[in-house]
Amino acid sequence: MSSEQPFSERLVGYFRSTPFISRMIMIICITLYIIGIFVEIPAFKICMIPSLITSSIVNVYRVFTFPFFHGGFLHLLFNMMSFRGMAMSLENIIGSVNMFFLTLIFIVFDGIVGYLLSYGCATILNWDAPYENCLVGFSGVIFGMVVIETKLSKQKTRSIFGFVTVPNKYYPWILLIVLQLLLQSVSFVGHLSGLLVGYLYTFGKFNCLFLSPKNLQRVESKMEKISNSNNFIRGGTATLFQDNAIPDTTDNQPNNVVKRTMKLAPRQSTQKNPKKFAGSGNKLGSLADYHNSQSLELNRIESITSKNLINNSNQDDNNMLGTKYLNSDLFSDPEMPKDNEKN
């Protein structure tokens, strides 16, 4: 007797294991496709046609509609399978709210970059096809996520459909070319625009468009019923890549070695009445204080010093006191701490 689960249960488990935003996007795309089977939805009304946007600004709405519609069942199937594989990992990293904003940003900028590329092809290269064609599908967003996944991957090589192994950093570009050669009906400009948007994200150019951690918590608290649901990923950060800032190389200059060293030196206290160090050693004071407390010893030292000054008149007073008598037992005091002891 087979223990394999029925297809319906596996399908339900398939969607339940998908994070919240990724699941919602898949449901929207599948629902719109099913509706299109029973209700005729003119592709001309919802697809991305750059030339129509040029003729009328009203057609900008197409930027938000064309990713969610697909040209057929296989088109939908391949896109959703590819999307789920990458979106699950990405949403688990950046969180569900950030995943929503990331998808929205990719949709908008995929449309903008796609329009600019198509317009450039028509005006500069006299290639009107991308400018006049009707484009649908989620492929542009998927290619953007391919770039992110490639940047986050620690693998040095990647496999193209299990046939060819290529360097990881070239994987998005080679995949773009291979898909165009195998499926000539796909939009090269549409995929290229998504790929470029993905690189803009990895360069940190969209970081300012995401919520700050404080605002993110505020949004999640206001949508508590949704955020407490299964597979809603709370928290996370969308700024996985920082903008390439010019490094501060001033500390590498020789003149700044002293500045870096001085940072390590202890700073003088600015307190009016600083607390004394509660150590176990003797209290450190001026030399005069010590002489006053050790008057008898000093008298003996002065007597001996005078005799030696007479006998060694050719020697410098400071050198004699510094080299000979400071090293003698005359200055040794059992109560004074040694130089190598910690006070």
pLDDT of 299 over the 70 cut: no
Show which of 204, 227, 250 is a domain's final residue. Answer: 227
Average pLDDT over residues 285-293: 44
Q: Among 16-20, 225-229, 313-317, where is mean pLDDT lowest?
A: 313-317
In sequence order, the 6+-apart residues with CB closer than 8 A to the CB of 82 are 142
Determine the average pLDDT of the residues in 185-193: 94
* Range with the poorest average pLDDT among 11-20, 116-125, 175-184, 323-332: 323-332
Question: Is 139 a known active-site residue?
Answer: yes
Q: Which of 191, 227, 295, 313 is flagged as catalytic?
A: 191
- Domain interval for residue 71: 7-227
Catalytic (active site) residue 291: no
Per-residue pLDDT band for 11 (boundaries 50, 70, 90) equals confident
Q: Does 159 lie in the same domain as 35?
A: yes
pLDDT tens digits for range 136-158:
999 999 999 999 999 999 899 99
Task: Answer for the pair 76, 25: CB distance below 8 angstroms, yes or no.
Answer: no
Residue 334 tokens, joined? 């059992």
Summarize the confidence of residues 76-98 as an average pLDDT: 95
Least confident range from 63-72, 130-139, 179-188, 198-207: namely: 179-188
The active-site residue, picked from 22, 96, 139, 187, is 139
Q: How many domains does the chain have?
A: 2
- Whether 21 is in a domain gets the answer yes
Structural domain ending residue among the three candidates 210, 227, 244: 227
Do residues 231 and 21 lie in contact, with contact meaning Cβ atoms separated by under 8 Å?
no
Domain boundary among 180, 200, 227: 227
Say whether pLDDT at 64 is over 80.
yes
CATH code of residue 91: 1.20.1540.10
275 within some domain: no
Res 325: pLDDT:
39
pLDDT of 296 above 70: no
Residue 293 has pLDDT above 50, yes or no: no
For the cut 50, the answer to whether the pLDDT of residue 224 exceeds it is yes
- Spatial neighbors of 200 by CB under 8 A, at least 6 apart, are 109, 206
The tens digit of pLDDT for each residue in 193-215 reads: 999 999 999 999 999 999 999 99
